[in-house]
């Protein structure tokens, strides 16, 4: 089995609290003004960034946790890099089921965008790839799990706390149609995490809704999209009326995680609530 290369990046932090922003499921189209369920995803993302810059002007890193382009368009990633550069902080991405990892890498002019072992103060971020090319659902597989073990072992030896980031959700959230798409080998994931006391949380995208729960001592966090939201507790696909948003995180040197979701309430957005799906947009 070929081992996935560890791509480490160390980010200087201003003080002992690590401040992160998660902007996920941006679903940018090939051209600016493209829509998902009737919503202009460039417009909604920029409104979310405007909000984040007002509310959280000081941030150490910005995370893009998948489905950054609706169909993996190079042009979308090029625009996205520019949008994220409005933050005076490094950005780190991982792929979702809609993304093209090769095209994401093509816009990585710094060589750091797709880092998978990020160090910030007393914390480590592990960026996992749960994408299965051509499939909607997630799977980590032997290589990603081996990467996880090795990076966590390194962090444990250095006395760091860890936050695990990926695109797909590892546990059911109560949406039947989405739960069919969760990480298929999540049991193996949690087996690895259980072996390292420094792991404090798991952060994901994909679900287009807020999730915040404690399970086996881990903080499990799902986050809203910067565009269309999905209705919680739905049997079949159903869009929600909640506006776009982002998640902020503060990682403390004692291993504590403070986090919350903020949404754009002062901008009117269009979303087609009658549609029974979105994959063809």
Residue 281 forms part of a structural domain: no
Q: Which helix (H) or strand (E) holds 10?
A: strand 8-10
Predicted confidence pLDDT, tens digits, the chain (281 residues) = 457 899 999 999 989 999 999 999 999 999 999 999 999 999 999 999 999 999 999 999 999 999 999 899 999 999 999 999 999 999 999 999 999 999 999 999 889 999 999 999 999 999 999 999 989 999 999 999 999 999 999 999 999 999 999 999 999 999 999 999 999 999 999 999 999 999 999 999 999 999 999 999 999 999 999 999 999 999 999 999 999 999 999 999 999 999 999 999 999 998 888 877 776 55
CATH of the domain at 59: 3.60.21.10
Q: Is residue 162 part of a domain?
A: yes
Instruction: Give dist(CA 163, CA 250) in Å, integer.
Output: 11
In 123-204, where do the E strands start and end?
A: 123-127, 161-165, 199-204
What tokens does 218 get?
């881990």
Which among 147, 161, 165, 13 is positioned nearest to 90, based on CA atoms?
13
Cβ–Cβ < 8 Å for 136, 99: no
Residue range 54-73, pLDDT digits in tens? 999 999 999 999 999 989 99
- Does residue 10 lie within any of the structural domains? no
How many domains does one find in the chain? 1
- Single out the residue of 249, 224, 4 nearest to residue 131, CA to CA: 4
DSSP 46-90: HHHHHHHHHH----SEEEEES--BSS--HHHHHHHHHHHTTSSS-
Three-class SS state of 147: helix
pLDDT score for 103: 97
Residues 79 and 67: their CA atoms lie apart, in Å, by: 14
Is 9 contained in some domain?
Answer: no
| Residue 278, domain member (yes or no) | no
Residue 258 lies in a domain: yes
Candidates 54, 110, 27; CA nearest to 248 is 54
Write out pLDDT tens, residues 202-261: 999 999 999 999 999 999 999 999 999 999 999 999 999 999 999 999 999 999 999 999
Residue 279 domain-assigned? Answer: no
Determine the Cα–Cα distance for residues 268 and 252; give it in Å rounded to an integer: 35
Q: Burial, 33: exposed, middle or buried (Cβ in 10 Å; 0-12, 13-18, 19+)? A: exposed
Q: Which domain holds residue 164?
A: 23-263
* Residue 152 C-beta-side C-alpha neighbours within 13 Å: 25
Domain annotation covers residue 14: no
Q: Is 109 helix (H, G, I), strand (E, B) or coil?
A: coil
């Amino acid at each position: 089995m070929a081992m996935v290369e560890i791509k480490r990046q160390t980010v200087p932090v201003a003080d002992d609290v690590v401040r992160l922003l998660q902007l996920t499921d941006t679903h940018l189209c090939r051209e600016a003004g493209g829509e998902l369920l009737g919503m202009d995803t460039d417009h909604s993302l920029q409104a979310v960034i405007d909000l984040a810059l007002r509310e959280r002007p000081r941030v150490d890193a910005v995370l893009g946790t998948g489905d950054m382009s609706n169909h993996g368009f190079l042009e979308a990633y090029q625009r996205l890099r520019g949008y994220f550069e409005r933050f005076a902080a490094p950005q780190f991405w991982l792929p979702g089921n809609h993304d093209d990892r090769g095209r994401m890498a093509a816009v990585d002019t710094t060589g750091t965008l797709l880092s998978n072992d990020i160090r910030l103060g007393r914390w480590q971020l592990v960026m996992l790839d749960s994408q299965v090319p051509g499939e909607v659902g997630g799977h980590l597989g032997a290589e990603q799990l081996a990467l996880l073990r090795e990076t966590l072992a390194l962090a444990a030896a250095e006395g760091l706390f860890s936050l695990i980031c990926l695109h797909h959700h590892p546990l059911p959230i109560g949406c039947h149609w989405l739960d069919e798409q969760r990480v298929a080998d999540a049991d193996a994931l949690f087996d690895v995490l259980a072996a390292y006391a420094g792991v404090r949380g798991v952060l994901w995208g994909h679900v287009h809704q807020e999730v915040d729960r404690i399970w086996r001592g881990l903080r499990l966090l799902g986050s809203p999209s910067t565009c269309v939201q999905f209705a919680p507790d739905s049997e079949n696909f159903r869009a929600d009326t909640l506006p776009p948003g982002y998640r902020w995180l503060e990682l403390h040197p004692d291993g504590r995680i403070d986090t919350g979701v903020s949404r754009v309430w002062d901008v009117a957005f269009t979303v087609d609530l009658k549609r029974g799906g979105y994959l063809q947009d």
